[in-house]
Amino acid sequence: MHLARFNRISLGHFPTPLEKLENLSRTLDGPEIYIKRDDCTGLATGGNKTRKLEFLVADAVAQGADTLVTQGATQSNHVRQTAAAARRVGMKCHALLERRVTNMGDDYEAAGNVLLDDMLRCEYEYRDEGLDMNAEAEALGERLRDRGLKPYVIPGGGSNAIGALGYASCAAELLQQADSQNLKIDRIVHATGSAGTQAGLVAGLHAMNAPVRVEGISVRASREKQIDNVYKLACRTSELLGVKGDLSRDLIEAYDEYVGPGYGQPTDAMVDAISLLAADEGIFLDPVYSGKGMAGMIGLIRAGELKKGENVVFIHTGGASALFAYPHLFSRQKAA
């Protein structure tokens, strides 16, 4: 893939650890489970968006930008990391926060990632759900240009072909770690939302001719819509990488059974998954993405889709700071 051909700026701590979850593997009595700790990327509490931002922010710097503009949901991990990346390179950050979740109480728009956005001096505005948020972000960028700024607009989740290079790079990093541990990876499982993480992984593995399946656990879209989103972006990313040979749609899988009532809406399976990993391994997941991703992986193990004898890597995409916006789900004091 030769990723050094692309502009990149160092924002995170890489490689992130690849660890075996001995206790969880024993509890679930299925495949051997490993975790790729992309919650440990280091930028403003870490998370998967840092990998994407290394390429996106480098492109912004190359274009002479002085402001990053992006969008996400209220408790967006991406907005938090984008604001931190902007501060690291001396830029401003403006963001739009979509009110996708409106039933979590008065503190939802003040706690968790929103508090961190405030500390990072991110300028943000709210939008009601249902708008084309990337178009809204482009319009904000135009208004900032009219004010004399030089904005660089990043789509939600950092999920375009440039951003997805971050997870093509992760695919290479993960295989190198697996080889050093003499670990044959059968499947990769993670929460899939804006599609960039899964698309980058699929494109990177395809570029290296590595026969590892990537199982996406959707946190918002239906199965077919998510597969379509991931496939289109994976194809664009492969093209950017210069990979020869068509990328098969059959390489893309997404499960929508774990979304529950909607994006950011709690499910019993998510709460159980977060509680189980904390109790078994001392690792915190988040309630919007990785918690539902873990719930999906546990569901696939219990359904026999992920089997004994397989080695499964779960990618922890970060976001545990959002737990503080959902205290009623986990606090024994709140429950009492």
Locate tokens 């991931």: which residue?
230
For residue 287, give the amino acid letter: P
How many CA within 13 A on the CB side of residue 215?
24
| CA dihedral (81, 83, 87, 89) positive or negative | positive
- Distance between CA atoms of 174 and 224, rounded to whole angstroms? 27
E strand map for the chain = 18-20, 32-37, 67-73, 92-99, 123-128, 151-153, 187-192, 213-218, 252-255, 311-316
Does residue 76 carry a catalytic annotation? Answer: yes
- Give the DSSP letter string of 145-178: HHTT--EEE--GGG-SHHHHHHHHHHHHHHHHHH
For residue 131, give the amino acid letter: L
The residues, ordered by sequence, that sit 6+ positions from 258 with a Cβ below 8 Å of its Cβ are: 217, 218, 219, 267, 269, 270, 292, 293, 295, 296, 299
Provide φ and ψ at 298, rounded to 5°.
Answer: -60, -40
The residues, ordered by sequence, that sit 6+ positions from 285 with a Cβ below 8 Å of its Cβ are: 273, 274, 277, 278, 291, 293, 294, 316, 319, 320
Active-site annotation holder among 10, 25, 76, 194: 76
Tokens of 287: 């309630």
Residues forming the active site? 76
